[in-house]
A and B are shown apart, each in its own frame.
Chain A
Amino acid sequence: MEHIRMPKVENVRLLDRFSSRRAVVGTLYLTATHVIFVENGSETRKETWVLHSQISSIEKQATTATGCPLLIRCKNFQVIQLVIPQERDCHDVYISLIRLARPVKYEELYCFSFNPKLDKEEREQGWKLVDLNEEYNRMGVPNNYWQISDVNRDYGVCDSYPTEVYVPKSATAHIIVGSSKFRSRRRFPALSYYCKGNNASICRSSQPLSGFSARCLEDEQMLQAIRKANPGSDFIYVVDTRPKLNAMANRAAGKGYENEDNYSNIKFQFIGIENIHVMRNSLQKMLEVCELKSPSMSDFLWGLENSGWLRHIKAIMDAGIFIAKAVAEEGVSVLVHCSDGWDRTAQVCSVASLLLDPYYRTMKGFMVLIEKDWVSFGHKFNHRYGNLDGDPKEISPVIDQFIECVWQLMEQFPCAFEFNERFLIHIQHHIYSCQFGNFLCNSQKERRELKIKERTYSLWAHLWKNRADYLNPLYRPDHSQTQGTLHPQIAPCNFLYKFWSGMYNRFEKGLHPRQSVTDYLMAVKEETQQLEEELEVLQERLANLQKSQSGNNKVKSKQQDQSKQFGLYTSNNSLANTPQEYSNDLKSFPSRSPSQGDEDSALILTQDNLKSSDPDLSANSDQESGVEDLSCRSPSGGGCLPSEDSGKDSDEAVFVAG
Chain B
Amino acid sequence: MEFAELIKTPRADNVVLHRPFHLAVEGTLCLTGHHLIFSSRRQDNAEELWLLHSNIDSIEKRFVGSLGTIVIKCKDLRIIQLDIPGMEECLNIASSIEVLSTLDSVTLMYPFFYRPMFEVLEDGWSSFLLEQEFELLSSVTNEWRLSCVNKEFSVCPSYPPVVIVPKSIDDEALRKVALFRHGGRFPVLSYYHKKNGMAMLRSSQPLTGTNGRRCKEDEKLVNSTLRSGRRGFVIDTRPLAVAQQARAKGGGFEQEVHYPQWRRIHKCIERFNILQESFIKLVEACNDQSHNMDRWLSKLEASNWLTHIKELLTAACLAAQCIDREGASVLVHGSEGTDSTLQVTSLAQIILDPRCRTIRGFEGLVVREWLQAGHPFQQRCAQSAYSNSKQKWEAPVFLLFLECVWQIHRQFPCSFEFNEQFLIMLFEHAYASQFGTFLGNNENERAKLKLPQKTMSLWSWVNRPEELSRFQNPLYEANSLVIWPSVAPQSLQLWEGVFLRWNRPSRFLEEAEEERINIIKYNKELQAKVNALRRQLAEMETDEEVLEE
Contacts and interface: CB of A to CB of B under 8 A. Distances in A.
Interface of A: 290, 294-302, 304-305, 308, 310-311, 314, 412-416, 473-474, 476, 479-481, 489, 491-499, 501, 505, 508, 510-515, 517, 520-521, 524-525, 527-528, 531-532, 534-535, 538-539, 541-542, 545-546, 548-549, 554, 556, 558, 565, 568, 572, 575-580, 582-583, 627, 630-638, 641, 644, 647-648, 650, 652, 655-656, 658
B526 A648 contact: no
Contacts of B536: 542
Q: Which of B488, B520, B537 has the most CB of A within 10 A?
A: B488
Contact of B512 (A474, A513, A636, A652): A474
Contact of A633 (B491, B493, B512): B491
B519 interface: yes
A586 to B, nearest CB: 12
Interface of B is mostly: helix
A311 B294 contact: yes
Interface residues of B, number: 84
Interface stretch (B60-68, B135-143, B166-174, B412-420): B412-420
Contacts of B306: 297, 301
Given A290-B490, A296-B307, A579-B415, 15 more contacts: A297-B301, A298-B307, A300-B490, A415-B512, A474-B512, A480-B511, A494-B293, A501-B491, A535-B529, A565-B534, A630-B317, A633-B488, A635-B484, A648-B327, A655-B317
Nearest to B318: A655
A492 B265 contact: no
A517 B415 contact: no
Contact of B533 (A474, A535, A575): A535
A301 B300 contact: yes
A473 B519 contact: yes
Contact of A499 (B487, B490, B505, B544): B490
Contacts of A647: 321, 324-327
B479 A634 contact: no
17 contacts: A297-B306, A302-B297, A474-B515, A489-B505, A492-B290, A513-B410, A514-B411, A517-B516, A521-B519, A528-B523, A538-B534, A542-B536, A554-B548, A572-B527, A633-B491, A641-B481, A647-B327
Interface in B285-310: 286, 288-298, 300-301, 304, 306-307, 309-310
Q: What are the nearest 4 A-B pairs in CB distance?
A: A647-B325, A300-B489, A494-B296, A414-B512
A305 B297 contact: yes
Nearest to B286: A495
A494 B299 CA distance: 11
A301 B304 CA distance: 10
Nearest to A498: B493
Interface in B447-493: 475, 477-493
B87 to A, nearest CB: 32
A517 B537 contact: no
A414 B477 contact: no
A632 B477 contact: no
A535 B530 contact: yes
Contact of B484 (A491, A494, A499, A636): A636
Contact of B509 (A414, A634, A648): A414
Contact of A497 (B293, B519, B526): B293
Contact of B481 (A512, A572, A580): A580
A527 B540 CA distance: 26
Q: Which of B289, B322, B487 has the most CB of A within 10 A?
A: B487
Contact of B486 (A492, A510, A534): A510
A632 B487 contact: yes
B307 A511 contact: no
Nearest to A305: B297
B47 interface: no
A556 B541 CA distance: 10
B16 interface: no
B489 A655 contact: no
A517 B475 contact: yes
A302 B301 CA distance: 7
B301 A514 contact: no
A517 B297 CA distance: 27
Nearest to B520: A524
B491 A494 contact: no
B415 A515 contact: yes
B500 interface: yes
A515 B490 contact: no
B515 A575 contact: no
A354 to B, nearest CB: 15
B494 interface: yes
B504 interface: yes
B104 to A, nearest CB: 36
Contacts of B383: none
A517 B519 contact: no
B513 to A, nearest CB: 9
Contacts of A572: 527
A534 B530 CA distance: 7
